Structure 1
Amino acid sequence: MTSLRTQAVSDARTVLHDLWRGGKGWILLTVSAGWFLSIGGRYLYPSVLPFLRQTFGFDLTTAGLLLSALWFAYALGQFPGGLLGDRIGEGNILVISTAICAAAMLLVSVSVTVWMLFLATAAFGFGTALYGPHRFTIFTDIYTDRAGTAVGLTMAFGSIGNTVLPAVAAAIAGYATWRLGFGFVVPLFVVMAVGIWIVVPSRTSTAASEDGDGDDGDAAGASLSAASIRRLLSTVKRGGIPTVVVVHIALAFVSQGFLGFYPTYLIEAKGFSPQLAAVVFGLYFAAGTVVQPLTGMSKDRFGAKWTLALLAGVFFVGLVALQFGQTLPHFLLLTVLLSHRNGVGVVTNTYIADTLPTDIKGSGLGLLRTSWLLIGATSPILVGYLGDLGRLTDAFVVLAGVAGVATLLTLLIPTRSEEAV
């Protein structure tokens, strides 16, 4: 036992040294903190949704449309975000993203009509989308053997944001007003934009300078020529990328419907208070802070196939068992099982970013993320519509079925040895 403990400590020190050396650690911390706000801000919506419905008087279908507007905008911004990052630099696009989020969230907090709320929400979704692809590409640029671990840590920061920010927003909305529940993050976004500008290099990739000084913007991934698009499409058809994308599409569909209405499900189907539902909702992401770094290390060590199969399988089991939960301890345990979904993006995004050529890494990943997020964004509409029919529980059964199919599809992903052949 002593030798195992000593080895574990030694391995942990090696990992931390690899992540921190050469000033990379500050980049990791800053990008992670930005992701803490970016994704945490998006998940303010499910926890504050009951208060929005009370103020604006909309039903569950309209609530689903609001969530879908957020995720449609987030999906549509992925490819432009990746493309612009390839052209003007990954760090620069993160600064722009964070600044847009600050302005959009301010508009959300002062919305007085449903249309204003929808438009501000879409603007926020688009702003966060610009951040999406490059929290992966930056780390595959600066880390050679620890990209999965770095991405896992970054997504763990996001899970902390999803744990803390929705719970704080629900508490503020309950004791003061939902407007402050959104508005309190505005100054945080402003500070974060300045921090990213100071710490993160304007460009981490070498794509723009491989053929010159990098000022002409002629990198293959930075233009929309027919040739570059054909190359991009041919690249994403290689190896295990298509299967990984299909798995992620299915799980994205399940995830958006589940996360968008999990607090509402706990309130309306299980009798929880909004504040308690927000706490259980936060546990999903709190557990993710453990799942995601472990997922990154598992992916680096054992490969994408079996890591993804385990994550999808446990998520599926949690969704099935959710129908039989009755008490708070049941839902706390089930939420921990469901939290394994948090690790899926670590595997799929890192796998794709590692596989794509450097000069089209951002635009390629952005294009793929747009495809799966667009499909995933339709899920809240379906769940909300079924909820208005009094069939919210049935909607969660449908989501469980899709997760089961995704679990089986992971078995088709090639292993490392098969890809090397």
Structure 2
Amino acid sequence: MEINKTKQKRTNARWMTVVFLFIVTAINYGDRATLGIAGKAMSGELGFDAAAMGWVMSSFGIAYVIGQLPGGWLLDRFGSKRVYFFSILFWSIFTLLQGTVHFFIGAWALVMLFTFRFLMGLAEAPSFPGNSRITAAWFPAKERATAVAIFNSAQYFATVIFAPIMGWLTHEYGWQSVFFFMGGLGIFVSAITLFVIRNPKDHPLANQAEVDYIVEGGALVDMDQKKDNGKQEGPKLGYLWQLLTNRMLLGVYLGQYCINCLTFFFITWFPIYLATQRGMNIKEVGFAAAVPAICGFIGGISGGIISDFIMRKTNSLSIARKTPIILGMLFSMTMIMCNYVDSIGLVILFMSMAFFGKGVGALGWAVMADTAPKEMSGLAGGLFNMFGNASSIISPIIIGYIVAWTGRFEWALVFVAGHAFVAAFSYLVLVGPIKRMELKKKD
């Protein structure tokens, strides 16, 4: 008797995993955006000027950059699951503690806010390299940009969801409540990480058909398998020089630095811009800031879908990744038009266009998942994020001083838009062909 063998239907545990990354990243960016919403009320009560707030905002970036290489090394040494859990737990605790700085007097309030913000940045350092490692482990190349776009677009979704909530909390219960709410939410989600983040081969909801599919597509499913079995030590730091001297990666690093300048403007100074220069109250700011964020979310998802569509049609990583990045960055320069209009509606329109373009072009983590050496994807991602987030130190300070010196935001917008142009130039001219870097083995 002939037995008909039917092909096993593929499961979709990889998409459940990326949805969880989306949720974690939304909370991540919600925590970063707390000062953007609560900053005006906080600075008014505690007596901080624009320059002081710029330094406080940059404290996160200072720690975040310092923590990238150690965070990447920890991911490669201990795997994504454990490092991801402790990262979320501790950054949430330090977010919550920022709501207590009013108990300190005078300059000590500023010192403690800077300290808690610094520690939050240090704890968040492994988050995006962890996202990149998990995506590289779970997704074939032809789906990777969409997966990265999903979790990366959470930064816009965070504003859509959390900005109105934080604006309402600030208005009704005071600025302290913003930090208590976001910190408590993160602590709760950290516990869920222990159950959701798994190796593809060990995930109870992923069948063999799905594992085979992602392996055939180039997913690095064994990255954490070796760590869990205790068979591999962390990557050798001697290979770091190869990462630092590779032209393709240097172009990607510069591009990410510039893209993150736009990111940190939108999550830190943009709400303050609406409140101070455009005269909106805190509740209006929360809802107004959500409109460009929705456009950024749509742009972010669109960029990933477009990139993977081009990838399927051309089978060229370079064309598929570069096209949305270059066009998106050039389109985001429309924010300069805000300097020439008085209407709040037009300001929101131009910022929405800029945020949409930034979302389309924010594919740096997809490029990193495509290019990082398989032996040290965590460290490579940490280095990438270290360069990218140097702008989180520099740009808030420069914008703070521009606003303090001029009393307005016109030149600050020019400063941010200029970074979008440099990002497009970097991918167009400097990066060259996009491909996975092969390390030169040492004896």
The normalised TM-score by structure 1 is 0.86
Is 1:274 the counterpart of 2:296 in the alignment? no
Q: For residue 291 of structure 2, what is the aligned residue in structure 1?
A: 283
Of the three residues 115, 121, 124, the one matched with 1:125 is: 121
Q: Distance in 1 between matches of 2:424 and 2:243?
A: 25
| RMSD value, Cα | 2.4
* Alpha-carbon spacing, 1:341–1:143, altered in 2? closer, same or farther (3 Å): same
Paired residue secondary structure (1:260)? helix
Provide Cα deviations, 1:348-376, integer angstroms capped at 9, x if missing partner. Answer: 11112211122200111101211221244
Question: Which moves more between the two structures, 267-276 or 306-315?
Answer: 267-276
Displacement of 1:26: 2.5
State how far apart, in whole Å, the 2-side matches of 1:343 and 1:40 are: 20
- One-letter amino acid matched to 2:239: R
Q: Report which stretch shifted further, 26-35 or 92-101.
A: 26-35
Q: 1:391 to 1:36 in 2, by over 3 A?
A: closer
Residue 386 of structure 2 corresponds to: 370
1:279 Cα deviation from its structure 2 partner? 2.0
Residue 185 of structure 2 is aligned to residue 188 of structure 1: yes
Q: CA deviation at 1:149?
A: 0.8
The 3 A distance-change label for structure 1 pair 208 and 31 is: closer
Residues 1:158 and 2:149 aligned together: no
Paired residue for 1:6?
A: none
CA contact (8 A) 2:262 2:358 kept: no
Tell me the residue number matched to 2:111: 115
Residues of 2 paired with 1:159 and 1:135: CA distance? Answer: 17
* Partner in structure 2 of residue 11 of structure 1: none
Aligned counterparts, 1:308-347, within 5 A: 308-316=325-333, 318-339=334-355, 340-345=357-362, 347=363
User: 356-365 vs 395-404, which deviates more?
Assistant: 395-404
Equivalent positions of 1:162-241 (< 5 A) are 162-201=159-198, 205-207=221-223, 214-218=229-233, 222-223=234-235, 228-235=236-243, 237-238=245-246, 240-241=248-249
What secondary structure sits across from 1:184 in the alignment? helix
What aligned pairs does 1:251-270 form with structure 2 within 5 A after superposition? 251-257=259-265, 259-270=267-278
Q: What is the aligned counterpart of 2:422 among 398, 405, 419?
A: 405
Name the stretch that deviates more: 182-191 or 140-149. Answer: 182-191
Deviation at 1:216, TM superposition (A): 4.4
CA gap of 1:361–1:178, structure 2 versus 1, over 3 A, is same
Q: Deviations over 1:145-170 (max 9, x none)?
A: 31111111112233212221122112
Segments of 5+ residues of structure 1 without an aligned counterpart are: 1-16
The offset of 1:230, in angstroms, is: 3.6
| Structure 1 position 107, deviation (Å) | 0.9
- Is it true that 1:85 corresponds to 2:102 in the alignment? no
Match of 1:414 among 416, 420, 432: 432
Which 10-residue stretch deviates more, 374-383 or 305-314?
A: 374-383
Which stretch shows the higher mean deviation, 95-104 or 404-413? 404-413
Distance in 1, matches of 2:338 and 2:244, equals 36
Distance apart, 1:394 and its partner CA:
1.9
Is the 2:88–2:187 Cα contact (8 Å) retained in structure 1? yes
Task: Give the equivalent residue in structure 1 for 2:401.
Answer: 385
Using the alignment, how far apart are the partners of 1:342 and 1:324 within structure 2?
24
User: Aligned partners of 1:239, 1:208: CA distance in 2, in Å?
Assistant: 28
Alignment partner of 2:35 out of 24, 29, 45? 45
CA distance in 1, matches of 2:417, 2:183: 36
For the Cα contact (< 8 Å) 1:305–1:415, is it kept in 2? no
The match for 1:13 is none
What's the CA shift for 1:178?
A: 0.6
CA contact (8 A) 2:327 2:361 kept: no
Distance in 2 separating the partners of 1:392 and 1:94: 37
Deviates more, 1:397-406 or 1:261-270: 397-406
Deviates more, 1:269-278 or 1:301-310: 269-278
Give the aligned residue type for 2:68.
Q
Q: 1:357 to 1:54 in 2, by over 3 A?
A: same
- Is 1:62 paired with 2:77? no
Hey, what does 1:72 align to over in structure 2?
62
User: How many residue pairs end up in the alignment?
Assistant: 390
Determine the C-alpha separation between the residues in 1 that align with 2:248 and 2:271. 35
Amino acid in structure 2 at the alignment position of 1:298: I
Matching residue of 1:7: none
Which deviates the most, 274-283 or 114-123? 274-283
Distance across 1 between alignment mates of 2:345 and 2:330: 22
Q: In structure 1, how many angstroms separate the alpha carbons of the residues matched to 2:181 and 2:266?
A: 26
Give the letter for the 2:124 counterpart. T
The verdict on how the C-alpha distance between 1:233 and 1:301 changes in structure 2, with shifts beyond 3 A counting, is farther
Comparing 378-387 with 197-206, greater Cα deviation is found at 197-206
> Which letter does structure 2 place at the counterpart of 1:378?
I
1:135 corresponding residue in structure 2: 131
Q: Render the CA deviation track for 1:189-235: whole Å, top value 9, x for unaligned.
A: 1221111111111688523656x9841442xxx24xxxx33423314
Unaligned runs of 5+ in 2: 1-8, 104-108, 201-219, 311-319, 438-443
The Cα shift of 1:395 comes to 2.2
Deviates more, 1:298-307 or 1:33-42: 298-307
What percent identity do the matched residue pairs reach? 18
CA deviations on 1:22-75 (whole Å, 9 max, x unpaired) are 522332222221111111111121111101111210100001001100122222
1:275-332 CA-to-partner distances (Å, cap 9, x unmatched) read: 222222222322222111211122223312111111100111x222121232122122
Give the drift of 1:179: 0.7
| 1:117 aligned partner, one-letter code | L
Q: C-alpha displacement at 1:400, in angstroms? A: 2.2
Cα distance, 1:192–1:385 mapped onto 2, change above 3 Å? same
Structure 1 residues 207 and 240: CA distance shift in structure 2, 3 A: same
